[in-house]
Structure 1
Amino acid sequence: LEREAVSLCTYECRLVPGLLQSEAYARAVFDNSIPLLTDEQTEAQVAARMERQAMMRERPTVPFGFIVEESVFRRGLGGAQVQSNMLDHVLELTAPRNVTLQVVPVELEFHGCLDGPLRILETLEGRRVGCSEGQQNGRLISDAKEMILLCRRYDTLRSQALNPTESRDLLERLRGEL
């Protein structure tokens, strides 16, 4: 579905979304997975993740929206060099006008997506499909009533997060702190 979507919205509160991860950051994620992966499995996962990112460059008219918790960018996964590289990578990938990044500041006590990460895809036919992710599972959501609720939550969070310019400024400040 992801490759056929005419729009894709993602909210993430744990890790940098896969579509925005640098190669080193993705490797750090897979190097620390439980159960441990072999080196070959890790490299295969990293390669698949990088291949997925090509979709954003290949589809410049498709809107990609990302809302990510500030704490994700402060986590330090992989160390300072990996974090620095990841911030540069995110800033580069979110520069095109079809890609929007908004950061949820740590000061925001309550927001519309406290129930966890989600993705919303829209198909060519105008159908919306959601995905919520958790430990050991992910759930595909296509029920119209549930999708209305997911879209409402995402829209609420979008209004609560920093705007794209403020979000870029924050990432540049974080980059300068490393």
Structure 2
Amino acid sequence: MAHPKDVDPMRSPRAFYGSELRRLREAAGLSQEKLGEMVICSGAYIGQIESAVRKPQLDMSVRLDAVFGTDGLLARLCVLANKSKHADYFAEASDLEALAVAIHEYAPTLIPGVLQTEAYARAVILAAQPLASEESVRERLAARIERSRVLANPTRPLLWVILDENVLRRPIGGPNVMHEQLLHVIGLVERRRIIVQVIPIAHGAHSLMEGVLSLMAFDDAPQVAYVEGLHAGQLLDDPSSLAKCQLSYDLGRAVALPPEASLSMLRSAAEEYLR
């Protein structure tokens, strides 16, 4: 987890909330542990809010305002911090994705959002909302493409993706869009920026078939898992659920093609869309 002083407060409303909380805490001469005692939580949780790993809660913000005498400032910032360009069920996962040092993801039907090209993302958005206004489509598209910024750093996060072969074969947006999309993924693999494995359809049933799974790890915060179904998603952080998700991912990785063979399948699929 980034040290609070390393977090850019302009990166997001949640980061701004965290920087303001740190500023107020340090001005009051309080440690994270002491402030946590005063608002009935752990010092580690205060640190995670300051680092924007955890989203602030309104009831806690009210208690923090009472401690600092800030007349509702943090409560008002809390409302802004919890607004998102993404669907409500994915908003917190998106914020955590930007902070993760390692992401292990499984995609059963679509190229993961962080890897989507603009044309591919537009096709996905229009398929889900065919009657959406052009303004709404542009807003959702901008939010989707913004996620790719997590790959701007040449080394972090580690991104390891398992794709079901169906992802390669479904012609989202048509042959040209798919060709461009697969070339984009291939380029990232060839530049050694990401690792991709493919589970061939011929391998039959496997442990990851039931939906999207993303495992996110942080420098100094507990691992979380994000699972998603149709118009619904959930973050999991209890040890039992995380252990089950990790086992499912490891079993899926074991039946997937090795990275080199997976890259060959990606190249072959990309070429087929030109025929």
What band does the TM-score fall into relative to the shorter chain?
A: over 0.9
**Displacement of 1:38 after TM fit?**
1.2
How far apart, CA to CA, are the structure 2 residues paired with 1:39 and 1:58? 32
TM-score with structure 2 setting the length: 0.62
* Pair 1:37-2:132 in alignment: yes
Find the partner of 1:28 among 87, 104, 123: 123
Structure 1 segments (4+ residues) deviating >4 Å? none
| Counterpart in the other structure of 2:44 | none
How far apart, CA to CA, are the structure 2 residues paired with 1:52 and 1:45? 11
Structure 1 residue matching 2:119: 3-state secondary structure: helix
Q: Which has the higher helix share?
A: 2
**Displacement of 1:34 after TM fit?**
3.4
* Pair 1:65-2:65 in alignment: no
Structure 2 residue matching 1:9: 3-state secondary structure: strand
How far apart, CA to CA, are the structure 1 residues paired with 2:190 and 2:229? 29
Structure 1 alignment gaps of length 5 or more:
none
Query: After superposition, where does 1:113-128 map in structure 2 within 5 Å?
Result: 113-125=208-220, 127-128=222-223
How far apart, CA to CA, are the structure 2 residues paired with 1:120 and 1:167? 21
| Counterpart in the other structure of 1:166 | 261
Deviates more, 1:32-41 or 1:74-83: 32-41
TM-score with structure 1 setting the length: 0.94
Give aligned-pair identity as a percent.
33
Query: After superposition, where does 1:1-178 map in structure 2 within 5 Å?
Result: 1-34=96-129, 36-58=131-153, 60-125=155-220, 127-178=222-273
**Displacement of 1:165 after TM fit?**
0.8
> Could you say which structure has the greater relative contact order, defined with CA pairs below 8 angstroms and 6 or more residues apart?
1
Structure 2 alignment gaps of length 5 or more:
1-95
How far apart, CA to CA, are the structure 2 residues paired with 1:19 and 1:167? 19
**Per-residue displacement from partner, 1:119-165 (whole Å, max 9, x unpaired)?**
10012125210011011210110010110010010011111101111
How far apart, CA to CA, are the structure 1 residues paired with 2:217 and 2:237? 11
Whether contact under 8 Å (1:118, 1:131) holds in the other structure is: yes
How far apart, CA to CA, are the structure 1 residues paired with 2:154 and 2:215? 17
Q: Which has the higher strand share?
A: 1
Greater C-alpha radius of gyration: 2
**Aligned Cα root-mean-square deviation (Å):** 1.4
